[in-house]
Amino acid sequence: MGSSSGEEGQEEWVPPSRRPELADVAPLPQADGPCPVVSIAYRDDFREVMDYFRALYAAGERSPRALRLTADAIHLNPGNYTVWHFRRVVLEALDADLLLEMHFVDQIAESNPKNYQVWHHKRWLAEKIGPDAANSEHDFTRKILATDAKNYHAWSHRQWVLQALGGWESELQYCNQLLEEDVFNNSAWNQRYLVVTRSPILGGLAAMRDSEVDYTVEAIMVNPQNESPWRYLRGLCKGDNNLLVADDRISDVCLKVLNKDWTCVFALSFLLDLLRMGLQPSDELKGTIEAMENSDPETGHADIATAVCSILQKHDPLRINYWSWYRTTLSS
């Protein structure tokens, strides 16, 4: 285990029972009752630290030694929410250096990147520090996401920091970078949508929609089997079906993909929704669907939407019952 304080450099750890500063503290053992059914075999160092922690906690002591003892307990079990809560109480009572505390919790978070208590403590600290913490928090989440691009805690914290403390200026560029590295990164697509819709400096979805449609269409053409950009494309016109139908680029990308791969479920399902919303199919689109039907005589239908639905039943077998139901809605 590291230093006893957590705020200092590495040093040899001294058990609480051998620390002069704790000589007046009577350890408080865990109360398991007279006949516990299953006694937990705690390590000796863990048991000792927690016995001393319970004593200070029960006494409600807000002191530097209490703060140091919480650091010991956290090193032994970073998920103990009672210890983290008490540490926050002591930090406030001592008017402690929160930047130093952020350094301490960052060290814990790097080795425990999916620990709820650690991220909650970071948010508490960042909120106390204010906008000055924004850049360092973005740097830290970027560091965590570089090793685990889907870390929910890091993404959630990053989004909170953006909305509470700022730092929007380079966030779209960061999303671009992540998607260049991995276009299948659905977390980066989700973050991009947050930036486009919430950033106070980009003008909102209405101002960004045109360029974002171009960006998304290009991403779809790179890999049509990537579901994320198809979902993102829907989101760009969320709540306004007329925008989806009226934008020729959207129906065109469906057609281009199907001309290359007429089994692409994402293009077929998107096209079906467009037809349901009132899209008037072009002659080229009709020809493509007819060619697809001719390759499988069993799917011949006069209505183009019904034909697409039948093709989906064949090429999306996991949802065959859904597409069967969908066909009934077309006739009604």
pLDDT at 3 over 70: no
DSSP 64-97: HHHHHHHHHHHHH-TT-HHHHHHHHHHHHHHT--
Do 249 and 212 form a contact (C-beta atoms < 8 A)?
no
Residue 294 has pLDDT above 90, yes or no: no
* pLDDT band (50, 70, 90) for residue 285: confident
* In contact, 280 and 251? CB cutoff 8 Å: no
The per-residue pLDDT for 4 is: 41
Q: Would you say 111 and 120 are in contact if contact means Cβ atoms under 8 Å apart?
A: no
Task: Check pLDDT > 50 for residue 135.
Answer: yes
pLDDT higher than 70, residue 5 = no
Active-site annotation holder among 114, 150, 238, 260: 114
Residue 281 has what pLDDT?
Answer: 87
Tokens of 315: 């090429």
Residue 227 contacts residue 219 (beta carbons within 8 Å): no
DSSP 295: T
pLDDT above 50 for 6: no
Query: Quick check: is 114 catalytic?
Result: yes
Average pLDDT, the chain: 92
CB–CB of 64/94 below 8 Å?
Answer: yes
Residue 128 clears pLDDT 60, i.e. is over it:
yes
109 has pLDDT over 90: yes
**Nearest residue to 102 via CA among 90, 119, 86, 115:** 119
pLDDT for residue 296 is more than 90:
no
Structure letter (DSSP) for residue 126:
H
Task: Assess whether pLDDT exceeds 50 at residue 181.
Answer: yes
Would you say residue 8 has pLDDT above 90? no
Q: What is the pLDDT of residue 199?
A: 97
pLDDT at 255 over 70: yes
**Mind listing the pLDDT tens digit for each residue in 266-281?**
999 999 999 999 999 8
Q: Where are the domains of the chain?
A: 1-96, 257-332
Q: Which of 27-41, 183-197, 209-223, 229-243 has the lowest mean pLDDT?
A: 27-41
Q: What is the pLDDT of residue 10?
A: 55
Beta strands in the chain (DSSP E): none
Sign (positive or negative) of CA dihedral 89, 93, 98, 104: negative
Q: What is the pTM of this model?
A: 0.88
Is pLDDT of 146 > 70?
A: yes
Q: What is the pLDDT of residue 183?
A: 95
The per-residue pLDDT for 332 is 65
Cβ within 8 Å of residue 109, ≥6 positions away = 115, 118, 119, 122, 140, 144
- Percent of the chain scored above 70 by pLDDT? 93
Q: For tokens 């106070």, name the residue.
A: 200
pLDDT band at 37 (very low <50, low <70, confident <90, very high): confident
Q: Find tokens 């290009």 and name the residue.
A: 218
> Long-range CB contacts (< 8 A, 24+ apart) of 154-161?
154/113, 154/119, 155/187, 155/190, 155/191, 156/119, 157/119, 157/122, 157/123, 158/191, 159/191, 159/194, 160/123, 161/126, 161/133, 161/134, 161/137
* Token pair 């863990």: residue: 46
Query: What type of residue sits at position 301?
Result: H
What the block records as the tokens of 240 is 């306004």
Residue with tokens 């299953």: 38
